[in-house]
Amino acid sequence: MKRHFLTAALGLCLLLAGAQSVMAAGFALYEWSARGNALGGTLVGRADDASAVAFNPAGITQIDGTQIQVGFSAISPMADLVYNGQSTKGADNTWLPPHAYIAHKLNDDWAIGLGVYSRFGLGTEYEKARWPGAANIYY
């Protein structure tokens, strides 16, 4: 028993010693439905439409019959950066992440659903030579 504990502890130490820093530049998307956006993402606790497939898949058992939902969100991020007197403006982009869901209640105990939605996919562009963070990121 003691040997297994020491082996596990040594393995954990080796795993943690190999950990590295990661720098991510993505934007997470939670725009999975218009209702979910309007309610501030509180659909995790309730299921009123087929978007429950994304928010809380267990909630599709509360939906009667078959429901289909299709849509997209229009997202237009803006970025202005001022650093040490230098200023630059990010490119004006518009992103249209889509979402589509279908949920069908088979009986009181079983339901099936399918969702197609984007979890990531936004971006911002800067002029490569004009902003202080150009050594790190420009797109």
**pLDDT higher than 60, residue 138:** no
Token reading at 100 = 């589509």
Q: What's the mean per-residue pLDDT of the chain?
A: 80
SS3 for 15-53, per residue? HHHCCCCCCCCCCECCCCCHHHHHCCCHHHHCCCCCCHH
Model pLDDT, residue 24: 54
Q: 30 or 135, which is more confident?
A: 30
Token reading at 115 = 């969702």
> Which DSSP string corresponds to 66-125?
EEEEEEE--B----EEEETTEEEE-----B--EEEEEEEE-SSS-EEEEEEE-SB-----
Model pLDDT, residue 128: 65
Q: What is the pLDDT of residues 93-130, one digit of tens each?
A: 888 888 999 999 999 889 999 999 887 767 777 666 66
The proportion of the chain whose per-residue pLDDT surpasses 70, expressed as a percent, equals: 83
| The residue to which tokens 């490119």 are assigned | 91
Q: What is the pTM for the complete model shown? A: 0.65
